[in-house]
Amino acid sequence: MGVTLIKNGTVVSPTGATPQDVLIDGEVIVAVGAPGYFAATEEGADRVIDATGKYVIPGGVDVHTHMELPFGGTSASDTFESGTIAAAWGGVTTIVDFAVQRAGEDVHAGLAEWHRKADGNCAIDYGFHQIIGGVDEESLKAMSYLVEHEGVSSFKMFMAYPGVFYSDDGQILRAMQQAADCGAMIMMHAENGIAIDVLVAQALARGETDPRYHSYTRPSPLEAEATHRAIVLSHVAGNVPLYIVHMSAGDALEEVAAARHHGRNVFAETCPQYLWLTLEETLAKPGFEGAKWVCSTPVRSKDNDPHWKGLHGHGHQADLWRGLRMNELAVVSTDHCPFCMKDQKELGLGNFAAIPNGIGGVEHRMELIYQGVVAGELSLERWVETCCTTPARMFGMYPRKGIIAPGADADVVVWDPNRRTKIGINDKHHMNMDHSAYEGFVIDGKVDTVLSRGMVVVENDQFHGRTGHGQYIKRGLSQYLV
C-alpha cells in the first residue's frame, strides 16, 4: 500500500470543514497538514489522490447491521461478503453486526457462530454486539466475559418479538444490572411486543392482512411507552448506559430528550428509512408491494397516523430531523436486514405478520443522510458526526475509527458534491436483494474514492477491495458517556 497523499480536498470533522491534505503510510493516517505542506513527499508517494472540489471524510461507521441473520423463517440475504462489499460501495468502512443468543442457548457459542460467518469474508472492518435473547445465570456471566476478553461491549435486548428475542422487565433489569457492573452499554429494541401481538391478532381476525397493517398494529405510543420503560429500568439498574435502536417516532424521541435533559446516559439512533420513507408512499402501496418496507420499528405515517397525530402535528420525520440536529438522536445507522421479495418477503403473502422484518440500506446511508445536508436538515459537520464519529465513540472504536487524524486507521472517503447518485435496482445497487427500498432516489453527491485501512476499495466506479481484507475490531467501552 505504501504512502498515499490525498491533496486539495476539504477535510470534514464534527468541528468543521477545512482545506487540508492527508498523508497515509500503510494502513494509518500519519499526518494532516495545510494544503501543500506535504509537497516534498508527493514525488515519493505511491499514490496521490487529487480531491480538488471534494470532501474528505472519515469512512462511515454503521453500528447496526444484520448479515445472514436467521429471522422470520428465513435468513437475511446479504452474507458478510456481499454486505460488506455493498457497504464499501456506500462509503462505509466499519460495520458492527449482532451476534445472536436465544433463550436456552450459550452466548459464547452464539458469538463463535458470528465469527465463523464473518472471519475471512469481510471487505471492510467489523465488530460485534451481542443479542441477549435469554437471560439466565450463564448469559449474565458471559456478558462480563465478553466485555473483558472479546471486545464486545454492548448487548441488545428486545421488548418486542415475544417467543423469539423478547425479555420481560425483570430479565431486562437483571441484564442491565450486569451491564452496569461491567461498564457495558444496553441497546434496546423498544416496542411493547405484548400489546403489539394483541393488535396483530385482532387485525388478522378482521381480515386486515395487507402490509400496511404492519405499521397500524405497531402504533408509535407503544414505541414511546417501551422507550420510557427502558429508560426507567436503566435508571433503577444504576444508570447503565442505554442506547435505543432504530427510533422511528416523535413521541418516543420526547422520552429520550427528557432523559438527556436530566443528564442521563441515554442515547438513540435513527435510520434513513424513518427520515425519508412514509407509510403512504411505501407500505401502503397496492397489493403486496408494501412488503418491501416491512421492518420494525415500522415506517410511519406522513402526518396522520390513525393512532397518533405526531407530537407537533406534523408527523414524525420533522421531529427526527430536529432530533438529529439537537443531538437527541446521536447516530444514524441502517438496521440493514435485507430480504428478497421472492421466497422471502413472499412468506407473508396473505398475512402481514409473516413477512420477514427488515430493509436493506447499508449501501445508502451516507448518501441518504448527505441528502439531508443538501435539503438543509443537517450541517456537513453533523453528517460526519452522526454517521462516522459518534458511532465510533459510542461503541468504543475511537480514535481508531470515525475521524481523520494522525494515528487513526486510514479509513477515508473522498466525496464528490458535484456528482449525482441514482439509487435503484438497475442503478447503484450492490446489496443481495431483488429490489431497492430507495428505488428512484437521486442524491446530489457521490462516493468518489474509498480507502479501508489504506487500501483503495472503491475508485472510478470500480470495486478494488478484497474479501478477507476486513479485520475484527475488538471494541472498548463507550467513549461517549456524560
By CB under 6 A, name the binding residues for ligand DUC.
66, 71, 189, 295-296, 335, 337, 357-358
Do residues 138 and 108 lie in contact, with contact meaning Cβ atoms separated by under 8 Å?
Answer: no
Closer by beta carbon to ligand DUC, 123 or else 295: 295
Closer by beta carbon to Zn ion, 189 or else 393: 189
Closest CA to 411 of 36, 52, 15, 87: 87
CA distance 159 to 195: 11
Closer by beta carbon to Zn ion, 129 or else 446: 129
260 binds Zn ion (CB under 5 A): no
Closer by beta carbon to ligand DUC, 297 or else 421: 297
62 binds Zn ion (CB under 5 A): no
How many binding residues for Zn ion (CB under 5 A)?
A: 2
Percentage helix, strand, coil for the chain under 3-state DSSP, each rounded to 5: 30, 25, 45
Q: How far is the CB of 245 from Zn ion (least distance, A)?
A: 5
Per residue in 345-355, is it b (16+ CB within 10 Å) or e — as a string?
Answer: bbebeeebbbb
Closer by beta carbon to ligand DUC, 64 or else 428: 64
CA distance 401 to 410: 9
Closer by beta carbon to ligand DUC, 272 or else 358: 358
295 binds, among ligand DUC, Zn ion, none (CB under 5 to 8 A by kind): ligand DUC
Amino acid identity, position 191: E
C-alpha cell at 460: 472510478
97 binds Zn ion (CB under 5 A): no
The residues near 14 (Cβ < 8 Å, ≥ 6 apart) are 381, 382, 384, 385, 389, 390
Q: How far is the CB of 335 from Zn ion (least distance, A)?
A: 4
358 binds, among ligand DUC, Zn ion, none (CB under 5 to 8 A by kind): ligand DUC
Stretch that binds Zn ion, among 105-113, 327-335, 401-409, 445-453 (CB under 5 A): 327-335
Closer by beta carbon to Zn ion, 189 or else 446: 189
Half-sphere exposure of 90 (CA within 13 A, CB side): 35
Q: How far is the CB of 336 from ligand DUC (least distance, A)?
A: 9
Q: How far is the CB of 249 from Zn ion (least distance, A)?
A: 14
Stretch that binds Zn ion, among 173-181, 188-196, 248-256, 430-438 (CB under 5 A): 188-196
Stretch that binds Zn ion, among 176-184, 213-221, 328-336, 436-444 (CB under 5 A): 328-336
CA distances, 300 to each of 156, 280, 310, 439 (Å): 23, 8, 10, 18
Per residue in 360-378, is it b (16+ CB within 10 Å) or e — as a string?
Answer: bbbbbbbbbbbbbbeeebb
Do residues 68 and 75 lie in contact, with contact meaning Cβ atoms separated by under 8 Å?
Answer: yes
C-alpha cell at 313: 402535528
465 binds, among Zn ion, ligand DUC, none (CB under 5 to 8 A by kind): none
Closest CA to 250 of 194, 193, 330, 328: 328
Q: How far is the CB of 64 from Zn ion (least distance, A)?
A: 6
Q: Which of 7, 54, 174, 189 binds Zn ion (CB under 5 A)?
A: 189
Closer by beta carbon to ligand DUC, 111 or else 271: 271
335 binds Zn ion (CB under 5 A): yes
Amino acid identity, position 74: T
365 binds Zn ion (CB under 5 A): no
> Residues in the site for Zn ion, rule: CB under 5 A?
189, 335
